[in-house]
Amino acid sequence: MNLRPALRVGLIGGIVLGLATLAQQAASSAEMQLLGLTIMALGPAVVGYYAARQSLARQRNTALGTGALGGLVSGVMMALAFVAAAALTAFDPTEQQALLEMLQAQLSEVQRSQLQAAGVDLRALVQLSLWLSLACCGVALPVFGLLTGALGGLAALPANQKTPLRRR
């Protein structure tokens, strides 16, 4: 099995999806964030599809493997971009203040008084949520890329089987 096409497609697709991830994190409107999430959700499957197409996988296991490899590489690139964007947010005091104000606006008076009675500092809660998102997305995005890339590779199988064999 030739893995070079899957790695190449995964790397190129991962760079594009990493840029989309950064743009999604920086978007201020809900519509643009939703568009970024849609691209991030569908992207690894598309990368897996093209990885299987480029490697001319004609068997199910080969298509699954090449699609999964391409999706995994793109998922790792998305995770790196997400971690970089979240780390910048975690260390920027103005971003932390904006997140704190957003959290305070979302909490009701009863919720705020309950958190205050429990001795929970809202700044610590914001920091905890940032670090949890770093940890979860750092692991979840590559796994998500692997799984959806494999599905994309499977979707490429019928088209690959119809394509005549090429001599190399």
pLDDT average, residue stretch 93-107? 85
Q: Is the dihedral of CA 17, 144, 98, 28 positive or negative?
A: positive
pLDDT average, residue stretch 83-112? 85
Residue 45 has pLDDT above 60, yes or no: yes
Instruction: Classify 163 as helix, strand or coil.
Output: coil
Global confidence as pTM: 0.81
Least confident of 8-22, 69-83, 95-109, 146-160: 95-109
Alpha-helical (H) ranges within the chain are 4-26, 30-54, 60-91, 93-106, 109-117, 122-162
DSSP 167: -
Q: How far apart are CA 134 and CA 138, in angstroms?
A: 6
Token representation of residue 46: 């598309």
Token representation of residue 132: 């949890």
Place of tokens 């999604």: 24
Q: What is the pLDDT of residue 150?
A: 95
Token representation of residue 37: 């999430």
Q: How far apart are CA 28 and CA 35, in angstroms?
A: 12
Q: What is the pLDDT of residue 39?
A: 93
- Classify burial at 102, counting beta carbons within 10 Å of its beta carbon; exposed 0-12, middle 13-18, buried 19 or more: exposed
Q: What percent of the chain has pLDDT over 70?
A: 98
